[in-house]
Amino acid sequence: MRVMPRIVFATARAMDWVPLGVAALVSVLITAWGFTGPYVDTDLLAVSLRSAAVLLGAAAGFGLTDAAENTTAASPVPRWMRQWTRTLLAGAAAAAAWGVAYLSVELRLPEEHSGVFAGLPVEAAVVILTGLACTSVVRRWMNGYPAALIGSTVLLVLVAVSLMYRSEFWLWYPPSAPEWEGLHRVWAVLIPLPLLMLVIGNRENPR
Amino acid sequence: MTSPAMALTWAEIHRFARSPLVLPLVLVLLVSRTLSTWRDMTDWTIQSVDAATTLVLVGAGVMLAANLAVLRERGGGTADLLESLPLPAANRTWSVLCASLFCGAAAALLVLSLHVPTLLVGAAPAGVFRPQELAAGVLAVMLMGALGVALGRWVPSPVAAPVVLMLIVWSLFQFRDSWLLPLVPTQALPFEAARPPLWHLLYLAALVTAVSLAAVMRHRRTTGTVAAAVAASAAVVGAATLTAVPSAFEGAEPVELAGTHEGRVTVTAQASACEEHDGVDYCALPGFEPWVPLWRDAIGPVLEAAPPQAPQLEAVYQYTGYAFNDLEGGGYALVGTTWGRNGGEVEYRRAVAGSVAAFMAGFPPPDVLQSDGQGGFGCDAAGQARTVIALWLLGQTEAPVAAGTEREHMAEVGSDEVVAVELPASVFGAVSYGQAELDMAEELLADPNTQTLVHQEWERLVDVETTLEEAADVLGVAVPPGEPSGAERGTACA
């Protein structure tokens, strides 16, 4: 366990933080856009916060690619530990970036709308975890940015397909919909799925 | 094009065809679109726009694949190797560009040519089929392909394409009415002010050209390319102006509709828009005339089963928005701008037949039910004979189902507070009933003598005071054991 801090610091230095940095910047910008109009539209703000989560989830996947994998594979630290370290670091950074965007919205929200986005962090957590999970599974077959790009695309496909199926359990109801209140219970139920995918994606390589 | 360039273009096309980002997305889109629209009745006006908008998913794949194809050159140690190739960087850009434009268009056309025919299965399509909208979808996919190449050349980072992609998707929501976007997802109704797709197509084509030239100009800035790029940019600006100026909008004039209330409600009651069948006016919004037979088919059996002394249904109005505010009293049924097909129509048929049955059996109209009476919103009709009669009438069209509840957000009288209230919800409006009524209606539906008895005893059966037990006596059936009726679950229906 004494090696853990060292692994964390070394991994943090080795990770490609540019995608997450750009995504964080864009997230803050698009959520700030919602306050430029004559009035605050909570439905559009929800779209921005959700887009930010998808973007950060996709960007977090870039943190899972390891340019030096062939070298690190020979080290005594097992793959699952290396990949989980990357997952936790990238996930925490993405969550922090989304949190900044979320707080910047919450603090500027007019009083009559306060608390309307209280359930959104659950949604963002699921989306960011799913982004990480998609890339982590794709990583079993390939490495480098193609892996992260394909992982991002899988996330995009999941979002697009879930957008198309409007039903009782539609995940993307806007705050103005009556389903909004119960919606985040549905999201909370989904949390184990990306975690399971991560367990599969981050496990030891058979080779 | 020289033959090495041709060979390279072919090689790139082959790579696109094998890319995990292109064909799998075509398949995903095709399957999910077809399944998600399978049970909705086709309205071409909306489906043309939706089919084009959802092509963004294929566009995303093409964009990322094109971006990867350009970024491939930046892999470790490739730069030196590329120096010895017969084609300079600008020609390689052309090859990827041609391949991405070709594959983008092919992928989009593949989706459309397989998906659009499925919209005709079991359908009586309403609305106006607009091929221009579909063409805009194809051009948008090509634009995204060109954008992928241009980004790879000017911002050679793998992050650029996903970020721009997300911005495109976000702006489709954020600026949904802006015609400067490649696609405009706003779902118009057939009779609303026209969309300007022809100018918009020109705008898109100019954008594709300008972005393509921008990609090539990273490595080749000859007078020809620069002049072409300037011309394309001018075309973009010109077409954008024509697209965004409302006077350039072409197509049908917006239709004046009777019953429009502060711009929120649109109900057709124009004599010219109504067709009379068996004494009932069926008033369809313009473009929805093909659905009149579907509505007649749902309402007809109820009208046939009802006795002559029952209240007469005068009209069936199609509406958009909140129609309740405008239409007072009864005598009409409302249908919306959606319907089902391939099994999805059952609920729509049940809803409209249920509203007619409720009207005939004397239930209060929806606008009364949704306002706060003495004991809250909605009412309970359990234990009343007319409930069974209404269910029996409804059963002529579709099997009745249990009543449920619905959360509604409502403004409190005399204040701005919006409260969420639990309303009973059934095919009769904000009316609840129990299993006993359903069971009894089922028994009546199985009995061929019911109609004669109902016709004879109609006045008594639809009286508010008549109980289930009395109705059972008259109709010669047993009262099924059920939960206690009436008052315990809310105000009894008056």
User: pLDDT tens digit string along A166-188?
Assistant: 777 889 999 888 788 888 889 99
SS3 A65: coil
Do residues A172 and A163 touch, judged by C-beta distance below 8 A?
Answer: yes
Instruction: Pick the residue from chain B with its C-alpha nearest to A166.
Output: B36
Q: What does the radius of gyration of chain B's CA atoms come to, in whole angstroms?
A: 30
Do residues A83 and A139 touch, judged by C-beta distance below 8 A?
Answer: yes
Asked if the model's pLDDT at residue B428 lies above 80, the reply is: yes
A164 contacts on B by Cβ (under 8 Å): 32-33, 36, 54
* Tens-digit pLDDT profile for residues B333-362: 888 889 999 999 999 999 999 999 999 998
Task: Tell me what the mean pLDDT of segment B17-22 comes to.
Answer: 92
pLDDT category of residue B78 using cuts at 50, 70 and 90: confident
- Cross-chain residue pair B21–A55, CB shorter than 8 Å: no
Instruction: Pick the residue from chain A with its C-alpha nearest to B420.
Output: A178
Check residue A125 and give its pLDDT: 96
CA B286/CA B257 separation, integer angstroms: 10
CA B460/CA B309 separation, integer angstroms: 12
Asked if the model's pLDDT at residue A81 lies above 80, the reply is: yes
Tally of structural domains, chain A: 1
pLDDT category of residue B375 using cuts at 50, 70 and 90: very low
Average pLDDT, chain B: 83
Name the amino acid, one letter, at B225: T
Instruction: Pick the residue from chain A with its C-alpha nearest to B22.
Output: A153
| DSSP assignments along B240-276, one per residue | HHHHHSGGG--SPPPPP-TT-BTTTBEE---GGGEEE
pLDDT category of residue B367 using cuts at 50, 70 and 90: low
A115 contacts on B by Cβ (under 8 Å): none
Check residue A29 and give its pLDDT: 92
In DSSP terms, B405 is beta-bridged to: B424
Q: Does A167 touch chain B (CB under 8 A)?
A: no
- Cross-chain residue pair B32–A165, CB shorter than 8 Å: yes
Check residue B242 and give its pLDDT: 76
Do residues B423 and B378 touch, judged by C-beta distance below 8 A?
Answer: yes
Give the H or E element holding residue B319. strand B315-320
Check residue B253 and give its pLDDT: 42
* Tens-digit pLDDT profile for residues B56-70: 999 999 999 999 999
Do residues A89 and A20 touch, judged by C-beta distance below 8 A?
Answer: no
Nearest to A164 among B25, B54, B60 (CB): B54
- Cross-chain residue pair A55–B25, CB shorter than 8 Å: no
Q: How many CB atoms lie within 10 A of CB A199?
A: 13
Task: Tell me what the mean pLDDT of segment B136-153 comes to.
Answer: 96
Q: What is the residue range of A143's domain? A: 2-202
Give the H or E element holding residue A157. helix A144-164
B28 contacts on A by Cβ (under 8 Å): 157, 160-161
User: Which residue in B434, B67, B480 sits closest to A153, CA to CA?
Assistant: B67
Q: Say yes or no: ipTM exceeds 0.85.
A: yes
Nearest to B158 among A145, A160, A178 (CB): A145
- Cross-chain residue pair A26–B166, CB shorter than 8 Å: yes
Check residue B188 and give its pLDDT: 64
Which segments of A35-140 are extended strands (E)? none
Break chain B down into helix, strand, coil percent, rounded to 5. 55, 10, 35
pLDDT category of residue B258 using cuts at 50, 70 and 90: very low
Asked if the model's pLDDT at residue B179 lies above 90, the reply is: no
Tell me the CA end-to-end span of chain A in Å, nearest whole number: 26
Q: What is the DSSP letter of B43?
A: B
Asked if the model's pLDDT at residue A97 lies above 90, the reply is: yes
pLDDT category of residue B30 using cuts at 50, 70 and 90: very high
- Cross-chain residue pair A157–B57, CB shorter than 8 Å: yes
Asked if the model's pLDDT at residue B27 lies above 90, the reply is: yes
Task: Tell me what the mean pLDDT of segment B406-425 comes to.
Answer: 66
- Cross-chain residue pair B166–A181, CB shorter than 8 Å: no
Check residue B487 and give its pLDDT: 42
Q: Does A59 touch chain B (CB under 8 A)?
A: yes
B/e letters for A73-103, b = 16+ CB within 10 Å, e = fewer, are: eeeebebebbbbbbbebbbebbbebbeebbe
Check residue B249 and give its pLDDT: 46
Asked if the model's pLDDT at residue B92 lies above 80, the reply is: yes
pLDDT category of residue B88 using cuts at 50, 70 and 90: confident
A161 contacts on B by Cβ (under 8 Å): 28, 32
Task: Tell me what the mean pLDDT of segment A91-114 comes to.
Answer: 91
User: Which residue in A55, A63, A64 sits closest to A22, CA to CA?
Assistant: A55
CA distances from B80 to A75, A103, A120, B71 (A): 32, 48, 49, 15
| Degrees to nearest 5, angle at CA B210 with B209 and B214 | 115
- Cross-chain residue pair B170–A47, CB shorter than 8 Å: yes
Check residue B248 and give its pLDDT: 41
Task: Tell me what the mean pLDDT of segment B199-208 comes to.
Answer: 90
Check residue B293 and give its pLDDT: 94
Tell me the CA end-to-end span of chain B in Å, nearest whole number: 82
B36 contacts on A by Cβ (under 8 Å): 164-166
Check residue A41 and give its pLDDT: 86
- Which tops the pLDDT comparison, A72 or B42? B42
- Cross-chain residue pair B174–A33, CB shorter than 8 Å: yes
- Which tops the pLDDT comparison, B300 or B249? B300
- Which residue of A33, A48, A149 is the best one to mutate when testing the B interface, meaning the one whose CB has the most B CBs within 10 A? A149
- Cross-chain residue pair B162–A149, CB shorter than 8 Å: yes
Task: Tell me what the mean pLDDT of segment B224-229 comes to.
Answer: 89
pLDDT category of residue B283 using cuts at 50, 70 and 90: confident
| Any domain includes A172 | yes
In DSSP terms, B320 is beta-bridged to: B266
| Any domain includes A207 | no
- Which residue of B39, B170, B178, B338 is the best one to mutate when testing the A interface, meaning the one whose CB has the most A CBs within 10 A? B170
Check residue A116 and give its pLDDT: 86
- Cross-chain residue pair A178–B61, CB shorter than 8 Å: no
Poorest-pLDDT segment among A154-158, B101-105, B145-149, B472-476: B472-476
Check residue B324 and give its pLDDT: 47
| Any domain includes A64 | yes
Asked if the model's pLDDT at residue B363 lies above 70, the reply is: yes
Q: Does A44 touch chain B (CB under 8 A)?
A: yes
* Tens-digit pLDDT profile for residues A14-33: 888 999 999 999 999 999 88
- Cross-chain residue pair B32–A59, CB shorter than 8 Å: no
| Degrees to nearest 5, angle at CA B204 with B202 and B210 | 105
Asked if the model's pLDDT at residue B138 lies above 90, the reply is: yes
Asked if the model's pLDDT at residue B1 lies above 60, the reply is: no
- Which tops the pLDDT comparison, A202 or B176? A202
Check residue B263 and give its pLDDT: 36
Q: Closest approach of chain B CAs to the CA of A206, in angstroms?
A: 24
Quick one: CA dihedral A110, A114, A116, A119, positive or negative?
Answer: positive
Do residues B319 and B334 touch, judged by C-beta distance below 8 A?
Answer: yes
HSE at residue A206, side-chain half, CA atoms within 13 A, is 2
CA B294/CA B427 separation, integer angstroms: 18
Check residue B488 and give its pLDDT: 46
Do residues B42 and B10 touch, judged by C-beta distance below 8 A?
Answer: no
Nearest to A146 among B28, B36, B68 (CB): B68
Poorest-pLDDT segment among A85-89, A134-138, B314-318, B399-403: B314-318
pLDDT category of residue B87 using cuts at 50, 70 and 90: confident
Asked if the model's pLDDT at residue B82 lies above 80, the reply is: no
CA B9/CA B298 separation, integer angstroms: 57
| Any domain includes A49 | yes
Burial (0-12, 13-18, 19+ Cβ within 10 Å), B101:
buried
Q: Closest approach of chain A CAs to the CA of B174, in angstroms?
A: 6
| Any domain includes A69 | yes
Nearest to A23 among B21, B163, B408 (CB): B163
Token pair in block for residue B84:
């010895």
Nearest to B166 among A55, A145, A157 (CB): A55
Check residue B417 and give its pLDDT: 62
Q: How many CB atoms lie within 10 A of CB B261?
A: 14
Phi and psi at residue B112, in whole multiples of 5°? -65, -45
Nearest to B163 among A47, A55, A150 (CB): A55
Non-local CB neighbours of A37 within 8 Å, separated by 6+ positions: none
Phi and psi at residue B338, in whole multiples of 5°? -125, 155
Check residue B99 and give its pLDDT: 96
Name the amino acid, one letter, at B113: S
B165 contacts on A by Cβ (under 8 Å): 156
Average pLDDT, chain A: 89
CA B429/CA A119 separation, integer angstroms: 31
Q: Does B58 touch chain A (CB under 8 A)?
A: no
Non-local CB neighbours of B263 within 8 Å, separated by 6+ positions: none
User: Which residue in B67, B289, B61 sits closest to B190, CA to CA?
Assistant: B289
- For strand B315-320 and strand B332-335, is the pairing parallel, antiparallel, or unpaired? parallel
Nearest to A153 among B21, B406, B408 (CB): B21
In chain B, % of residues over pLDDT 70:
82
Quick one: CA dihedral B369, B372, B373, B378, positive or negative?
Answer: positive
Q: Does B411 touch chain A (CB under 8 A)?
A: no
Phi-psi region for residue B276, left (φ > 0), alpha (ψ -120 to 50) or beta? beta
Q: Does A149 touch chain B (CB under 8 A)?
A: yes
| Any domain includes A90 | yes
Poorest-pLDDT segment among A16-20, B244-248, B262-266: B262-266
A33 contacts on B by Cβ (under 8 Å): 174
pTM of the shown model: 0.86
Check residue B265 and give its pLDDT: 40
- Which tops the pLDDT comparison, B491 or B335? B335
Q: Does A148 touch chain B (CB under 8 A)?
A: yes
Check residue A192 and give its pLDDT: 95
Asked if the model's pLDDT at residue B225 lies above 50, the reply is: yes
Asked if the model's pLDDT at residue B374 lies above 50, the reply is: no
